Structure 1
Amino acid sequence: MLDLTYETPKVKTIAGATGDWELVIGLEVHAQVATKAKLFSGASTQFGAEPNSNVAFVDAGMPGMLPVINEECVAYAVKTGLGLKAQINLNSAFDRKNYFYPDLPQGYQISQLYHPIVGTGEVLVEMGTGIAGEKPTARNVRIERIHLEQDAGKSIHDMDPAMSFVDLNRTGVALMEIVSFPDIRGPEEAAAYVVKLRQILRYLSTCDGNMQNGNLRADVNVSVCRPGDYEKFQASGDFGDLGTRCEIKNMNSMRFIQLAIDFEARRQIAILEDGGKIIQETRLYDADKNETRSMRSKEEAHDYRYFPDPDLLPLEIEQAWVDDIAASLPELPDAKKARFIKDFGLSDYDASVLTADVDSAGYFEAVAQGSDGKLAANWVINELFGRLKKDDKDISDSPISAARLGQIVALIKSDKISGKIAKDVFEIAYTSDRDPVEIVKTEGMEQVTDTGAIEVAVDKIIAANPDQVAKAKENPKLAGWFVGQVMKATGGKANPAAVNKLVSDKLK
């Protein structure tokens, strides 16, 4: 595990006309379960299908159609709970949340209000770059619960100005609603929490985290309080100390999450300082105007007339099944980061970059296998990631395999090629799918390590430039000019360390 010697993140404070205010934030993250079938039917969850083509009778609310639980969805929820160090409830149950909307054909949503499948857990949220010895900050954000529920359909309003259309393809798709406690204290921390949660879900392969497709979205609850009120809440557990909250629905961008929180906090502060009261409501964020606007008053549980779903028996799972899932968990981001720091001698920053994505972590580990971890990290982060970003490619689409980049690192480590030549080898391998060892051999790129041959080149440069020799003897820093000339004369193939030593010795 990571050695948590981090500082506590600073609480976001906004100065108002009557004093400072602090933000209190809680998130409800809806993560689509990465199964091929829906929660209560065998209909496909494929994204981008023709409208209303992935709909079973039970999804469409046809009379007499009964839901049948998808066991894999339950397993993925348990796996997610274990990944978040949460309590797994062996007994849970489904409830009906009743409301009427065109994209909800049953007239209710099947969810888990009273008895969720997963209880309390936590997510370690880190902030700060860790560059140049900067100390990252960290906070454990507590998870209140995770429950399974079915998604609604999608209403489409922009195809015809006079009409609205309904696509039921998403209806019945399994969601995990991951509810945090109001532990988050600023916009940046809220975005960092979602990033970390998405990272864990992707490591677990229980949700692909694709926010553009709606597979991960967040409802953000925001309130403001005076300094010291949050500490009162922690002592008493009374949410009244935290102010009246408003919920911003369906946020699907880290940047917009931060902007929406900042706007909403300032909106609430302006109302309170003007003597008004905050109305608990659901709001939407308008990215074009950078503002939140009222959607509807915030309903309480009793407004939805929750009651146990009569078509579904209580869900009972065995501890042995949970233990089997726990035994199959992959190495998670925090553990992998700690291992990379320990085993490869990486900095906190480099380890964070490499473990940010499970595919990137696997690629790096393959490159570093039996080689120099720090050197491998430098090449993956600076050379490969830089080139992939330039070409708008993901690590999974890398034109150069981990094995071949590992060959380049090994060639540098064994002094077969210099770092400068390695960049040329990388470029050829990246663009032509050629083997690095073959490239070095065929193109005559192998580094010259014969000190006798290098000495001949050094002597020749020194003999041809007596004036520069005199200057270098007066100012030793000018010795670099001779090193550059020798490297140029040898086509960059001379061993730089050998050249530096010979030049230094000769000029003395």
Structure 2
Amino acid sequence: MTMVAMGLTCSCIHQLTAAGVGDDASKLNPAVREITAKYCRFCPFPSTCNQTVTTTTTTSRQSIDVLPPIPLVRPPHMLRPCLHPFPRALRSLANARCRSLRPLRIHHPLQPFTHYPVRHVQTSAIESDDRVPLRKQLKQSAKGLKAHKRERRAAEEASRQKWELTVGIEIHAQLNTEAKLFSQPFARNGYVDLFGYDGIAPEDGDKVRVGIKQIQLEQDTAKSQEYPPSTQLLDFNRVSHPLVEIITMPEIHTPATAAACVRKIQAILQSCSAVTTGMELGGLRADVNVSVRQRGETAGTHQYGGIGGLGQRTEIKNLSSFKAVEDAVIAEKNRQIAVLESGGAIEGETRGWTIGSTETRKLRGKEGEVDYRYMPDPDLPPLIIGEDLVAELARTLPTRGDELINMLRSQEYGLPVEDAKPLIELEDGARLEYYQDVVDILRDLQQDQDPKARGGLARAAANWVLHELGGLLTKADLPWDAQRVPAESLAQLVDQVQRKRITGPTAKQVLAMVFDGDPRSIPQLLEEENLLLRPLSREEYIALAEAAISQNPQMVEQIRSKNQLGKLGWFVGQMMRMGEKGRVEAPKADAILRELILGSQ
């Protein structure tokens, strides 16, 4: 139903009636019929009255469409003056019921056929009470989402207080070798330390140590592919491919920390080139063992890896991403809690999980608690590794990721964790090597500068390596190539910015030119393209600032009255647009704006 507000004058209604439309009420649309029946028949001055009659009616477009066209006694053009005072009210009627009268034009009416003035009434649709503006709907949706997240966190916290989750992980990684030896597990009783920057759950504190039960070699058998509802295919292309299996102790108690553990172990394996590729390309996958038990009750009857008091565990196989590890643990934890709270018992079984699902599914039952059986191969003699080889391997191992992060966060570089981690993880450390080369060259170029000014060189270089150069690679969808923008070129570019010979926007323009293959050196390119900064005078800055201020007085008033200093940045952008490209320096522009708007020097 559509609400239509009509503002009509009695003279126009009378003219409709005189034209032959109002004489037969059955020919009128119900919206107009109500008006003509109520006012036209009883108006004492039907040809002279200009009193405005306003009514609100409810019409159904469907009822308009199904009625036959209105037969008019007079030609269509005679009704133009009558329709003019209420075009919005009758336009839908004219379009719906007078389709045979297309010559009728409402936008350019002829003069009225009476000498009395026509009163033009602007009408508008009246919103129904249940109609909610879009902005309000979006705000309500955002509030509802936040409330749902708060409720979910509260429910998870209540569940965590009542139930203890225990997770153990088995990581299978394709070895970067053609053969392997499988006789018995080795490297027992190791551990991996997880820190806050690794992504562990806040409730786990600043550090979590996860024990390594054992590391062993094995061979791949096949890859299963499930096609619902009942088809399962086996891919034997990976048969006999050497794998290393890393089995953790059941010492993980949150889903986020489980995912962080897999991520950390993958980074360690990749740093020493022990594996072919990572999870994202199928070179590594994880199985998780999940159990829950109620806190405060008698310890569970199950044990694993020498740790007792656990609940019955289930194993979720073949998780192929860090997000899948976290989501699968959450789904299985919720399932087990629901079963136990309903009085059921957890069965030892192998389960599967599908990306995007919120539930795990049973694959098969477990034969027993013994997961590994070892069988010596009579054709393979024992292999004895000497202490000298072990010492050489230990000496040539790359620096551990934790040590690299501590180095980048130290005073020498002063990087935040948000910049240090990507430098280490991107391109298996190749981006970090490039960054260190840029910093070394940049420090040599800046030897004549003030030591205090040189303190921020490492952070400036990280910004250009990660964000500016990284953004160009992402935009062009190209892999990392250190020779596309040589480290010396990027260091020279950052050096010019630090010396204030070019502005930041100009430097980005030059970086894009070098990235696209410009063979010229940075100094040559700046000279030939006339890109070196020619500083503006104070008077030129003031002129640009006054021009920007004069065009936006309301925003200036908001800055002064409401102390909305963030809007000064918008004025700086306006000055940079109005000024000659590459000559307006943002800090100087900001200082002039503060002086003119706030009266501060």
Residue 504 of structure 1 deviates from its aligned partner by: 7.9
Please provide the CA RMSD for this pair: 4.2
In the alignment, what sits opposite 2:425? 356
Normalised by the size of structure 2, how large is the TM-score? 0.59
Tell me: CA distance 1:260–1:482, structure 2 relative to 1, closer, same or farther (3 Å).
Answer: closer
The one-letter code of the counterpart of 2:512 is E
In the alignment, what sits opposite 1:409? 494
The one-letter code of the counterpart of 2:434 is Y
Give 1:23's match in structure 2, choosing from 157, 161, 165. Answer: 165
Cα distance between partner residues in 1 of 2:170 and 2:240: 19
Residue 198 of structure 1 deviates from its aligned partner by: 1.1
In the alignment, what sits opposite 2:440? 369
Cα distance between partner residues in 1 of 2:231 and 2:580: 75
**CA offsets per residue over residues 412-440 of structure 1, 9 Å max, x none?**
11222111222222222233444443332
In the alignment, what sits opposite 2:540? 457
Tell me: CA distance 1:446–1:19, structure 2 relative to 1, closer, same or farther (3 Å).
Answer: closer
In the alignment, what sits opposite 2:51? none
Alignment of 1:200-279 (within 5 A): 200-227=268-295, 239-279=307-347
**CA offsets per residue over residues 98-129 of structure 1, 9 Å max, x none?**
xxxxxxxxxxxxxx2xxx23122222223469
In the alignment, what sits opposite 2:526? 440
**CA offsets per residue over residues 382-439 of structure 1, 9 Å max, x none?**
3233343344444348853444333322221122211122222222223344444333
Tell me: CA distance 1:281–1:163, structure 2 relative to 1, closer, same or farther (3 Å).
Answer: closer
Among all aligned residue pairs of Structure 1 and Structure 2, give the percentage whose two residues are the same amino acid. Answer: 32
In the alignment, what sits opposite 1:423? 508
Tell me: CA distance 1:165–1:307, structure 2 relative to 1, closer, same or farther (3 Å).
Answer: closer
Could you say what secondary structure the match of 1:184 adopts?
coil
Cα distance between partner residues in 2 of 1:25 and 1:209: 25
Residue 496 of structure 1 deviates from its aligned partner by: 4.8
Asked if 1:296 corresponds to 2:364, the answer is: yes
Check the 8 A contact 1:198/1:209 in 2, yes or no: no
Normalised by the size of structure 1, how large is the TM-score? 0.69
Cα distance between partner residues in 2 of 1:194 and 1:27: 8
Cα distance between partner residues in 2 of 1:153 and 1:408: 52
Give 1:314's match in structure 2, choosing from 353, 365, 382. Answer: 382
Task: Point out the structure with max Rg over C-alpha.
Answer: 2
The one-letter code of the counterpart of 2:241 is V
Cα distance between partner residues in 2 of 1:466 and 1:338: 47
Check the 8 A contact 2:439/2:491 in 1, yes or no: yes
Cα distance between partner residues in 1 of 2:311 and 2:231: 41
In the alignment, what sits opposite 1:184? 252
In the alignment, what sits opposite 2:149? none
Q: Any unmatched runs of 5+ in structure 1?
A: 1-9, 40-68, 70-93, 96-111
Could you say what secondary structure the match of 1:444 adopts?
coil
Indicate the larger mover: 355-364 or 390-399: 390-399
Tell me: CA distance 1:466–1:201, structure 2 relative to 1, closer, same or farther (3 Å).
Answer: closer
**CA offsets per residue over residues 36-90 of structure 1, 9 Å max, x none?**
x232xxxxxxxxxxxxxxxxxxxxxxxxxxxxx5xxxxxxxxxxxxxxxxxxxxx
In the alignment, what sits opposite 1:336? 404
Aligned residues, how many?
Answer: 411
Q: Any unmatched runs of 5+ in structure 2?
A: 1-152, 443-456
Tell me: CA distance 1:460–1:239, structure 2 relative to 1, closer, same or farther (3 Å).
Answer: closer
Asked if 1:38 corresponds to 2:185, the answer is: no
Could you say what secondary structure the match of 2:176 adopts?
coil
Could you say what secondary structure the match of 2:360 adopts?
strand
Cα distance between partner residues in 2 of 1:163 and 1:505: 73
Check the 8 A contact 2:314/2:349 in 1, yes or no: yes
Cα distance between partner residues in 2 of 1:505 and 1:155: 70
The one-letter code of the counterpart of 1:368 is V
Asked if 1:492 corresponds to 2:577, the answer is: no
Indicate the larger mover: 487-496 or 247-256: 487-496
Check the 8 A contact 2:472/2:512 in 1, yes or no: no
